[in-house]
Amino acid sequence: MLTVSDTRGPDNDTSGDYLANALREAGHRLADRALLPDDRYRLRAIVSAWIADPAIDGIIVTGGTGFTGRDSTPEALLPLLDKTMPGFGEMFRQLSYAEIGTSTMQSRAFAGLANATFVFCLPGSTGACRTAWEKLIRAQLDARTKPCNLVNLRPRLREQ
């Protein structure tokens, strides 16, 4: 899990703390956690290393998805994706609209697949991370979710 921020540190990374705890509570193993400033090359380097690790099934990134000059998560990570998951960003913004109104159009949240690893990129606010986890990601990482879920796709992700 990666937090992208120029202003947060280990003592006040509330979004990262929320996601790390939510993952563990759902029975998942947190393989690694990092906090980096908005620097597209450093982001790309760490996520590339995680994507290359066969023990990592998914990556959650929080922060850097807005419109400020320093926000660069989409520019850093979209080139790494083999496939995008447009429905994730669409659903996230739809759900966020109910919570924050038209401000949701400033979100560039996205998800996709890279080297058979799921990548979810969320806004930096804890509320946005909670919305994404509770209303989208958690169920898709649960094999019991019907009619389908991302977990059940894992064995087929490397098909040619």
What is the per-residue pLDDT across 64-113, written as a single tens digit (0 to 9) for each?
A: 999 888 999 999 999 999 999 999 999 999 999 999 999 999 999 999 99
Is the pLDDT at 160 greater than 90? The verdict is no
Confidence of residue 133 (pLDDT cuts 50, 70, 90): very high
What is the set of domains in the chain, with CATH numbers?
2-156 (3.40.980.10)
Edge-to-edge strands of the sheet including 83-84? 34-36, 2-4, 58-62, 117-122, 110-114, 83-84
Tell me the two tokens of residue 43.
Answer: 């982001």
Q: Residue 46: what pLDDT?
A: 98
Closest listed residue to residue 137, CA positions, set 78, 61, 74, 65: 61
The DSSP output letter for 116 is T
Q: Residue 114: what pLDDT?
A: 98
Q: Residue 43: what pLDDT?
A: 97
Q: HSE of 135 in the Cβ direction (CA atoms, 13 Å)?
A: 18
Average pLDDT over residues 32-43: 96
